[in-house]
Structure 1
Amino acid sequence: MLIKSPPPKLLTEAHATPESAYVSRRTLIKGVGAGIGGLLLARNAQALDLFGADKPQAAPRKPLDFAADKPAPELALTPEAKVTTHNNFYEFGTGKTDPAEHSQQLKTEPWTLTVEGEVEKPGTVDVWKLMGEIGLEERIYRMRCVEAWSMVIPWVGFELGKFLKRFAPTSRAKYVAFETLYDPEQMPGQRNRYVGGGVDYPYVEGLRMDEAMHPLSILSVGLYGKTLPPQNGAPIRLVVPWKYGFKGIKSIVKIKLVEHMPPTSWNKLAPQEYGFFANVNPAVDHPRWSQASERFIGPGGLFSVKRQPTLPFNGYAEEVASLYSGMDLKKFY
């Protein structure tokens, strides 16, 4: 499948990722990953080394075997060190560096994922066994956060729609609901709603069925050729590149196909700010800031962050705009 790249003028060679940050995909298959290092984009606009002597060491990650023969889109990648240290995962704290700092003890093996609801073949799968059985592929996607920053990330995973077909959805399945692990002992943000951003845990998200079945929607089990680190949603998370990042629910334990629109965590908490659809739309501002432009997090230090125009549907309009034909995208934000 051809994944259309955004116009190259938005991501120039000046943003190119150094060779040390991402080696060839075939090298990654052999287990040689990108080096971790450099300046980290931290909260309070300061550089911070999360993995110093007094910080938890990063959880070990395994190399993944995935399809690497398709040409990659010509997108400048965000360095791995920034992808794994600048995160939103409120179960581990609300600061951008909190997830990397507080999630390293998350136990991700064993891990099961249950699929239920409006399906003819409900069941539970072992995620780690699934990784060895299902065909993985790399998808290089632009990712856009509602806070107006963006990254380009090489995800490894598989199409959500193909996975759901294994469970034979019924004609009553109109939406797909997702649920994150609930374990306050491992996820300190779940112990206290203030620490966890006010979210009513467990974190839940949802897609309309046609969105879930679209080939751009994937379940990711890795990035940069290796399994996901805990702060990025290990061992399995949702990636929907034309939507704002909060739709990408992490550390999923349950998927339920339902007839009616399911509740979603941020929509419940602040419906005036976070809609169910959450399509990237430069014409619909957040109540507290504009969405017309974004800061691309690329190589270099703090002051190398580039501001660029926000693209409708995050640059994937040609592939997904037809899903919303006739909808008022300002009303259904």
Structure 2
Amino acid sequence: MHYRRKKSWEISESFVTDEVLFEGRRRFLKLGAAMTVSTSAVMELAASEKLPMPNLHYRKDTNPLGLVLNSYDQIISYNNFYEYTTSKKGVRQLARNFKTEPWRISVDGLVENPFEIDFDDLLNRFTLEERIYRFRCVEGWAMVVPWVGFELASLIRYAKPLSTAKYVRFETLYDPEQFPDQRRKFFSTIDYPYVEGLRMDEAMHPLTLMTVGLYGHTLPPQNGAPLRLIVPWKYGFKGIKSIRRITFTDHEPLNTWQKMASNEFGFYANVNPDVDHPRWSQKHERVLGKFIKQKTQMFNGYEKEVKHLYAGMDLRKHF
């Protein structure tokens, strides 16, 4: 079992854990194999760093690149989630009462094994692991996040797509009672439900993550609870939140932003400093918490791992 949802009335028992501590404020360090951390030490650390108590069981990321993480508070306080509001700092407050129970995900389309599964059962079916990834928004801001999840490829293999399945389509929950902007109907900011898609080889890539948590705890609503997609070499809008449906198809899905503004947002949305947005440059990015901008890396720093996926393609045309 990889996950256990704590009942509202339960009090956590003491932890004996190989969880990481921070160097300075944000850099992960592994504890020695013979070391343990008492409950009081974990609680003190969590309180000082404004972290929730871990409630996920997962394999740790050793962070070989030594990436400096953004703080938990930064990650949960600056969010794009138009279903709530266009205000990045306003999402957190509006999402505070979002209900994720019950939550079922349907997997359908061109597969041998279509199924519908409860979220908790989904977590228990796949092995969770931490992935410390760079995250780059198309708007020019960035952060580094310790996501927790499982490879999308694991779910795809379980669903057994047919040979005719070339793409994977994702759909966000449609629930006007919970999402204020969906209630506005014809006056909403974008068309709903939110849709995203990946080519099959992108979806099967080992970096592509179905994400259920960050900093060892289940996802907060503003970050896409209970289930979101993370594709670290693409702009953040590809990381669809609060996923309710996954469909295998033989044609390229029309994603939401491509539908809304095809001259600004393409299907691929790969991070590319050489292709500017029509209204701003993509050559530099601002990491949350830092004043000076840094150069944008091709494929967000994952060029070695994913460049082969686009061999022979004109990345200015297929943006």
- What's the Cα RMSD here? 2.5
Specify the alignment match of 1:184 in structure 2.
Answer: 176
Deviation per CA, 1:230-265: give whole Å up to 9, x if none.
Answer: 000000000000000000000000000000001110
**Structure 1: 4+ residue segments shifted above 6 A:** 25-31
Q: Who is 1:6 aligned against?
A: none
User: Corresponding residue for 1:96?
Assistant: 88
Are 1:172 and 2:168 counterparts? Answer: no
Task: Name 1:312's counterpart in structure 2.
Answer: 298
Matched residue, 2:313: 327
Partner secondary structure for residue 83 of structure 2: helix
Question: What is the correspondence of 1:48-63 to structure 2 with a 5 Å cutoff?
Answer: 63=55
Q: Which residue of 2 aligns with 1:263?
A: 254
The one of 58, 66, 70 equivalent to 2:58 is: 66
Amino acid at match of 2:285: E
Tell me the number of residue pairs that the alignment of Structure 1 and Structure 2 aligns. Answer: 291
TM-score, scaled relative to structure 2:
0.85
Shift of 1:69: 6.7
Query: What residue number does 1:161 align with?
Result: 153
TM-score, normalised on structure 1? 0.81
Q: Which has the higher contact order (CA 8 A, sep 6+)?
A: 1
Question: Is the 1:93–1:196 contact (alpha carbons within 8 Å) kept by the matching residues of 2?
Answer: no
Structure 1 residue ranges without an equivalent (≥5): 1-16, 39-57, 299-303
- The letter of the residue matching 1:65 is H
Over 3 Å counting, the alpha-carbon distance change for 1:294 and 1:70 in structure 2 is closer
Q: Name the SS of the counterpart of 1:320 in structure 2.
A: helix
Partner of 2:117: 125
Note closer, same or farther for the CA distance 1:96–1:29 as it changes in structure 2 (3 Å cut).
farther
**CA contact under 8 A between 2:61 and 2:129: conserved in structure 1?**
no
Q: Give deviations 1:140-184, integer Å, cap 9, x for gaps.
A: 000100000110000000000111110101101100000000001
Which string of whole-angstrom CA distances, capped at 9 and with x for unpartnered residues, describes residues 123-153 of structure 1? 0111122223321000000010000011000
Which position in structure 2 is the counterpart of 1:273? 264
Whether 2:130 is the aligned partner of 1:138: answer yes
* Residue pair 1:21, 1:36 contacting (<8 A) in 2 also: no
Residue identity matched to 1:271: S
Shift of 1:309: 0.4
Structure 1 residue 111: Cα displacement: 1.0
Cα distance per residue 1:26-48 (max 9 Å; x no partner): 7899875744879xxxxxxxxxx
Aligned to 1:208: 199
Change (3 A) 1:147 1:62: same
Kindly, what percent of the aligned residue pairs are identical?
52
